[in-house]
C-alpha cells in the first residue's frame, strides 16, 4: 500500500504503518491506521486476510493467534506477525519522495 501524498495529509491526523513480517523481516506494508491499538491490528488482519493467508502454513491456519500492542498479531509458530512498523504515513511518504528524487 502506498501512503497518501504530503498534500493529502496536510490537514489530517497522523496514521501509523502496519506491516506484515515473516521470520522477523518486513515483507509488505498492509495498511495505515489512525490508531495504535490491538483492534487496529486485528482490523488490518481481517481486511488483508487474502494477502496473509498464502504465507501461513496449514498448522498456522488451524491454530490460534495472540494479540499484543507491542508484539502485534502473532500467528501460532511466531514466524508470521502483523505489527506496527514504528513509522508514520508521513515518514513513509517523505522517504518515497526522497527515493524518487534520488533516482532523477
User: Mind listing the pLDDT tens digit for each residue in 43-77?
Assistant: 999 999 999 999 999 988 888 899 987 889 999 88
What does the block give as the cell for 91? 515518514
What average pLDDT does the segment 81-102 reach? 88
Higher-confidence residue of 55 and 103: namely: 55
How many other β-carbons are positioned within 10 Å of the β-carbon of residue 97? Answer: 13
Distance CA 95, CA 92 (A): 5
Whether 95 has a pLDDT exceeding 70, the answer reads yes
What average pLDDT does the segment 71-88 reach? 91
Among candidate residues 33, 42, 40, the one with its CA nearest the CA of residue 74: 42
1 inside domain: no
Whether 88 has a pLDDT exceeding 70, the answer reads yes
Domain count, the chain: 1
95 inside domain: yes
97 inside domain: yes
Strands annotated E in the chain: 16-22, 25-33, 65-68, 72-75, 80-88
Contact in structure between 40 and 18 (CB atoms under 8 Å): yes
Please name the residue that has the C-alpha cell 496449514.
58
User: Mind listing the pLDDT tens digit for each residue in 1-27?
Assistant: 777 777 777 777 889 999 999 999 999
Q: pLDDT value at position 104?
A: 66
Which residue range is the domain that position 79 belongs to? 6-103
Amino acid at each position: 500500500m502506498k501512503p497518501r501524498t504530503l498534500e493529502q495529509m496536510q490537514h489530517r491526523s497522523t496514521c501509523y504503518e502496519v506491516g506484515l513480517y515473516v521470520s522477523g523481516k518486513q515483507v509488505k506494508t498492509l495498511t495505515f491506521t489512525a490508531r495504535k491499538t490491538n483492534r487496529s491490528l486485528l482490523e488490518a488482519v481481517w481486511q488483508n486476510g487474502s494477502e496473509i493467508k498464502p504465507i501461513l502454513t496449514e498448522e498456522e491456519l488451524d491454530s490460534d493467534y495472540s494479540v499484543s500492542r507491542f508484539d502485534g498479531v502473532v500467528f501460532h509458530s511466531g514466524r508470521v506477525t502483523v505489527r506496527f512498523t514504528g513509522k508514520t504515513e508521513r515518514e513513509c511518504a517523505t522517504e518515497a519522495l526522497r527515493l524518487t528524487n534520488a533516482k532523477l
